[in-house]
Structure 1
């Protein structure tokens, strides 16, 4: 099967499945930073009921064998469902189901400065709802018979100012609160509690920096390095965050050292995001 199969007939075939309204290419292949062995991440947007049987038939046709199709909700409330395909040439293709109506509702909430964080397998710091918009904004639309995906993607070229203001303010506040909560673990040397609080704080600060620069943060993978590369980010942000989590310590004095470093990092990010809009 040709390398460009999914860019041409493959996406079109997916778009013919009942309920499917469009297909996008995401991940490194959409950004042009992929390696030859990189996976193909395909967003399969649907409305109403999606034809699971038709998806299974198509998957079997292109892979040469049966493929389990995970119904909407099987992977959680936010990541939804889909399938993992292994093609005859050994390449891996991920079909990720997305409810187009829900994506648009979440986008309208983002435009109004409202977002939520949901528990989701595969997202240790939770699924931040603006990721729906980020996925589409950063994707390459491969099939769009109705034009709906292109319309939404066009709207998402501009990061909503209400979302920027709400996310930066709340995320930095939450980071500070999480560090304060980690302080309660110092006397008892409760490393689990401290580690979870500080990981949450670093995740918050990373989200705040992305939002401040009006850049989409889709998940935790690579987010820290990307935030560190943004202009105005506190010096050594990635290295300091990495040391904070990797050298947390187990004794009271060691945890106190880590908490002091975390408090400083929160303060510097707060200054960075409050300095300009």
Structure 2
């Protein structure tokens, strides 16, 4: 459980302007063992030593390791993995100015997909905005994050159009997978299938005007959306769970995947 005064204490650190609860707990989709994800939104730099000092007062292990901004890669900005009272509590940095720029891009249908550790599908820049839209604001002295959250209440039609248009990639991936299947290259086929399903999940969420912020749970979430093909979740999970090893098996898997692609993107 997060100490009730922790968000306000974090906002007392130079640079931190707001703290939000994110992830499955913010959306009410968590399991009992789910982590607590705290988004630390900052501007104009971040006093990491001061953050460490706060962390040392609440963490089970006072020797807390926190990164500098950028320490986890270009998109997942950095932070630390803490245990507080035996519970996993992740601190995750977010540069609020960068989030604002991404929101501006989303409104005109621009997004990026970047390489990022921990995101096998690639990090979709629109996730920055989705995190704000779906979060629970815990501390926001100047109201900056709250105002942005209000602005993101409605999913941008231009972003939806762009992500749906990006669905062409699913068919392209399967064309490559079909060639690899002939040679029995199950690894390449599996990689293409995962990204194919991920692209379809993006399309389904965009078409429904719903934010998708993470690969975890994306297949089940897509299957619950209006407009999803019948039994989308079960079919997608079955494809990924039994790709096959011999050329005939791989070809059959690619063929079944093509049916899903046709039903989602035509």
Q: Normalised by the size of structure 2, how large is the TM-score? A: 0.96
1:160 CA displacement: 0.2
- The aligned length equals 265
Question: In the TM superposition, what whole-angstrom CA distance separates every residue of 1:157-204 from its partner, at most 9, and x where no partner exists?
Answer: 00000000010111x201111011111102211111111111110110
1:24 aligns with 2:50: no
SS of match in other structure, 2:17: strand
Match of 1:11 in 2: 7
1:196 aligns with 2:191: yes
Cα separation, 2, equivalents of 1:13 and 1:37: 25
Q: Tell me the C-alpha RMSD between the 2 structures.
A: 1.3
Match of 2:36 in 1: 40
1:178 aligns with 2:173: yes
1:58 aligns with 2:54: yes
Counterparts of residues 60-75 of structure 1 (less than 5 Å)? 60-63=56-59, 65-75=62-72
SS of match in other structure, 1:137: helix
Match of 2:130 in 1: 134
1:91 aligns with 2:121: no
Match of 2:210 in 1: 215
SS of match in other structure, 1:48: coil
Match of 1:164 in 2: 160
Match of 2:234 in 1: 239
Q: Structure 1 residues 35, 176: closer, same or farther in 2, change over 3 A?
A: closer
Cα separation, 1, equivalents of 2:188 and 2:24: 34
1:39 CA displacement: 2.1
Q: Structure 1 residues 252, 109: closer, same or farther in 2, change over 3 A?
A: same
Match of 2:222 in 1: 227
Range with bigger deviation, 221-230 or 22-31: 22-31
1:218 CA displacement: 0.6
Uncovered stretches (5+) of structure 1, i.e. residues with no partner = 272-277
SS of match in other structure, 1:185: helix
Match of 1:275 in 2: none
SS of match in other structure, 1:23: strand
Question: In the TM superposition, what whole-angstrom CA distance separates every residue of 1:211-233 from its partner, at most 9, and x where no partner exists?
Answer: 11010111110110010011221
Cα separation, 2, equivalents of 1:225 and 1:21: 34
Contact 2:243 2:250 in 1 (8 A): yes
Uncovered stretches (5+) of structure 2, i.e. residues with no partner = none
Range with bigger deviation, 139-148 or 112-121: 139-148
Range with bigger deviation, 247-256 or 46-55: 247-256
